[in-house]
Amino acid sequence: MSLRSLASMLRSEWPNVRVSVRRSIAGDGYFAHTTYDDEADRFTITIDKKIPEDFATFILAHEFAHVIAWDDTSKDDHGPAFWKAYMEAYRVYLRYCGR
């Protein structure tokens, strides 16, 4: 399976969320980052292209949880809302892995 397959599974679980996933140089020493474009009303998840595909899928579940839990008023990137969203995204990841 591929990063594209997992992204498709995640999007199907949250069809109202507009998100694109790309492989590029994430920068700043991170494996990945997520941004939100107000004008386009779209999230972009960037996963470093040097990361192996199997690890990139695991990272995608984490970054997608940020998208699900997104609240521009929150100052806590990894607070309770994130962990609840991560649990949901990780369930999709486990289905993707066949578990």
Q: pLDDT digits over 41-77, tens only?
A: 999 999 999 999 999 999 999 999 999 998 765 667 8
Residues 35 and 67: their CA atoms lie apart, in Å, by 9
pTM passes above 0.85:
yes
**pLDDT at residue number 74:** 65
Is the separation of the CB atoms in 86 and 67 below 8 Å? no
**pLDDT at residue number 71:** 75
Query: In sequence order, what are the residues at sequence separation of 6 or more whose Cβ sits closer than 8 angstroms to the Cβ of residue 56?
Result: 3, 23, 47
* Domains, in order of start, for the chain: 3-97 (3.30.2010.10)
- Write out the two tokens for 73: 């008023």
Pick the more confident residue, 30 or 91. 91
Residues 25 and 87: their CA atoms lie apart, in Å, by 27
For the stretch 6-47, pLDDT in tens is 999 999 999 999 999 999 987 777 899 999 999 999 999 999
Residues 38 and 70: their CA atoms lie apart, in Å, by 13
pLDDT exceeds 90 at position 99: no
